[in-house]
Amino acid sequence: MTAEASLRQHDAVVTRLRHFLDALASAAPDEQSGERLRHDLARWTEDLRRYAVPESRRYYGRSPTLASAGQATTPWYVVDEATPPERLAGRASFGTFFLGGRGAAHGGTIPLLFDELFGWLANSEGMPPSRTAYLTTNYRAVVGIGRPLTFTAWTDRVEGRKRFLRAELRDGDTVCAEADALFVTLRPGQP
Ligand SMILES: CCCCCCCC(=O)SCCNC(=O)CCNC(=O)[C@H](O)C(C)(C)COP(=O)(O)OP(=O)(O)OC[C@H]1O[C@@H](n2cnc3c(N)ncnc32)[C@H](O)[C@@H]1OP(=O)(O)O
């Protein structure tokens, strides 16, 4: 299979997995279905273990051209405009898998999205690797499950190895959450 075909296959599987996780989070299956599901999942887990590859050859979370960089365990997002490392903008939506309560997204999943966006900016092609030193989120309004959202993330300033980043998540005109973060460029030998 070509690299392009493998990437497409990965994207299709992850999309299925995202739908599966949403369905799982919403369901209370009966005993028979639950048993069948457990059995099928165990079979697929064993099957996939045979195809394990080193981190550098994985698609999961490492495919910036795919939605959510090829992951199902972050909220869904796509980058529509990118001028890295300065700015990026796009769309996001939190599926039922990310429900906290009363129709709102879990508070921990919002910084997860922001960390993804900041990682995208700070570690874009040609940039030296860097890691999150801190990430602060302000929750301004609830993020509704299934709502179509937009985001912007940008580099506020750079001071030596320190890159200060900011981001905003909106539902229409409403700012739902804001974040600011510090990414520090790694020194040689740092993990
Ligand atoms: C490799 C690419 C992977 C993609 C990553 C995607 C984003 C992620 O989720 S990374 C995972 C989460 N983050 C981590 O695990 C990071 C854990 N922490 C670390 O590894 C280190 O603390 C690290 C690298 C952030 C900084 O350590 P180190 O390089 O020793 O920094 P150090 O030399 O002490 O400080 C550098 C500067 O940053 C400042 N700084 C460091 N940490 C902080 C902090 N938490 N708050 C404020 N300032 C800080 C220091 O004060 C210093 O400032 P100045 O130069 O003005 O004196």
Query: How many angstroms separate the CA atoms of 121 and 116, rounded?
Result: 9
What are the tens digits of pLDDT across the range 126-183? 999 999 999 999 999 999 999 999 999 999 999 999 999 999 999 999 999 999 999 9
CATH superfamily name and code, 74-185 = Hotdog Thioesterase (3.10.129.10)
Ranges of beta strands (E only) in the chain are 76-83, 87-93, 99-101, 104-105, 130-139, 149-159, 162-171, 174-185
CB 169 within 8 A of CB 149: yes
Q: What is the value of ipTM here, to two decimals?
A: 0.96
Single pTM value for the model: 0.96
Asked if residue 161 lies in contact with residue 173, where contact means CB atoms within 8 angstroms, the answer is no
Q: Is the CB of 160 under 6 A from ligand 1?
A: yes
Distance (Å) from CA 97 to ligand 1 centroid: 31
Tell me the C-alpha distance between 185 and 163, whole Å: 8
Q: What is the pLDDT of residues 65-122, one digit of tens each?
A: 999 999 999 999 999 999 999 999 999 999 999 999 999 999 999 999 999 999 999 9
Show me where the domains of the chain are located.
3-55, 74-185
